[in-house]
């Protein structure tokens, strides 16, 4: 599987600058990849059907990236293959004032899907160690002095630990959390921003604030690398995917979804002998009707 080389589970360090943003290194052919994506989408649908029927395990895909890396389009194209009944998409925006009155995982817990479902988090609690850390937003939070007066490094080290613990907690409670970082190059981001400005149908996707964040591109790369290394684990791995070509990103995401759903070994519930006998009785009744 192509996605394997982009998987980080804590056993090896992730060096973002050495990882590709495009598909060249994988020497793939676009036409073949498109065909394979289609077949993965079909496989995903049938695996998801059994997962939903069984209702034993919940699966959460966390999508993280800088602006214009393709989070929205990944949700649309790849997850569109799943049965909407068992899919929840949740976009994490700037916290509301009510959310800020609580711990940072409060809103995440509220967004957890029931077991048997697949949730896609478009951004997530990782923003609480990314944008928050980069802009020192925690300084303006209404929290006890003993918390705010702590050394900044310590504050975020604790958050990394809380995230690791939370993901382990979810795993132990029959959830799987798989994190995906869409690794976009600075040049491709520029191209996509220009397109958003030039195409009226894409204007709504652009905001001047996006340029302020772009100015911090390198700082974000460093921080993402730290966050990935701090939170990659066997039970909750990160995938760092090349994101400059959307067709290839979509393919890799479809591989990850298939692999993750397979690892849940979903199987349709089997009826007990008693229930099967009752079904046979119903069948006979209907036929004689
Ligand atoms: P978008 O994904 O383009 O709709 O933008 C959502 C915005 O909300 C991004 O700029 C995120 O950085 C921001 N955001 C999400 N979660 C948080 C958070 N916990 N604290 C501050 N900003 C956040
Ligand atoms: Mg945006």
Domains of the chain: 2-288 (3.40.50.300)
> Is the pTM here over 0.85, yes or no?
yes
Q: How far is CA 222 from CA 17, 154, 189, 232, in A?
A: 9, 18, 17, 16
Beta carbon of 204 within 6 Å of any ligand 1 atom? no
Residue with CA nearest ligand 1 atom 22: 94
Q: Provide the pLDDT for residue 237.
A: 98
What does the alpha-carbon distance between residue 185 and residue 188 come to, in Å, rounded to a whole number?
A: 5
Handedness of CA 121, 122, 124, 130 (dihedral sign): positive
Residues with CB under 5 A from ligand 2 (ion): 67
In this predicted structure, the answer to whether residue 51 has a pLDDT above a threshold of 90 is: yes
What does DSSP say about strands 175-183 and 238-242: parallel, antiparallel, or unpaired?
A: parallel
Residue listed under structure tokens 């036929």: 287
Instruction: Give tens-digit pLDDT for 193-219.
Output: 999 999 999 999 999 999 999 999 999
What does the alpha-carbon distance between residue 184 and residue 24 come to, in Å, rounded to a whole number?
A: 14
Beta carbon of 220 within 6 Å of any ligand 1 atom? no
Pick from 25-29, 123-127, 167-171: least confident: 25-29
What does DSSP say about strands 238-242 and 7-8: parallel, antiparallel, or unpaired?
A: antiparallel
Retrieve residue 164's tokens: 């690791």
Residue with CA nearest ligand 1 atom 4: 93
Q: Directed axis angle between helix 246-263 and helix 30-54, to 10°?
A: 30
Residue with CA nearest ligand 1 atom 20: 94
Instruction: Give tens-digit pLDDT for 104-118.
Output: 999 999 999 999 999
Q: Provide the pLDDT for residue 79.
A: 83
Mutate to test the pocket of ligand 1, among 92, 121, 210 (most ligand atoms within 8 A of CB): 92
């Amino acid at each position: 599987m192509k996605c394997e080389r982009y998987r980080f589970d804590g056993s090896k360090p992730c060096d973002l600058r050495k990882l590709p943003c495009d598909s060249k290194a994988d020497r793939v052919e676009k036409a073949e990849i498109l065909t394979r994506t289609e077949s993965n989408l079909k496989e995903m649908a049938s695996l998801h059907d059994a997962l939903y029927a069984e209702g034993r395990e919940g699966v959460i895909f966390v999508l993280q990236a800088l602006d214009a890396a393709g989070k929205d389009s990944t949700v649309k194209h790849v997850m569109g293959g799943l049965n909407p009944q068992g899919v929840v998409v949740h976009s994490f925006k700037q916290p509301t004032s009510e959310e800020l009155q609580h711990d940072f995982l409060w809103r995440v817990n509220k967004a957890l899907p029931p077991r048997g479902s697949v949730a896609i988090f478009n951004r997530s609690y990782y923003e609480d160690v990314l944008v928050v850390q980069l802009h020192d937003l925690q300084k303006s939070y209404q929290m006890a002095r003993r918390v705010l007066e702590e050394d900044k490094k310590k504050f975020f080290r604790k958050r990394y630990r809380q995230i690791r613990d939370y993901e382990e907690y979810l795993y132990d409670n029959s959830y799987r959390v798989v994190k995906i970082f869409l690794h976009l190059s600075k040049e491709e981001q520029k191209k996509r921003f220009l397109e958003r400005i030039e195409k009226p149908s894409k204007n709504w996707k652009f905001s001047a604030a996006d340029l302020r964040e772009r100015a911090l591109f390198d700082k974000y790369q460093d921080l993402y690398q730290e966050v990935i290394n701090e939170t990659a684990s066997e039970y909750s791995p990160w995938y760092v995917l090349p994101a400059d070509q959307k067709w290839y990103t979509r393919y890799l995401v479809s591989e990850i979804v298939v692999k993750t759903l397979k690892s849940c070994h979903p199987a349709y519930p089997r009826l007990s002998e008693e229930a099967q006998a009752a079904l046979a009785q119903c069948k006979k009744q209907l036929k004689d009707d």
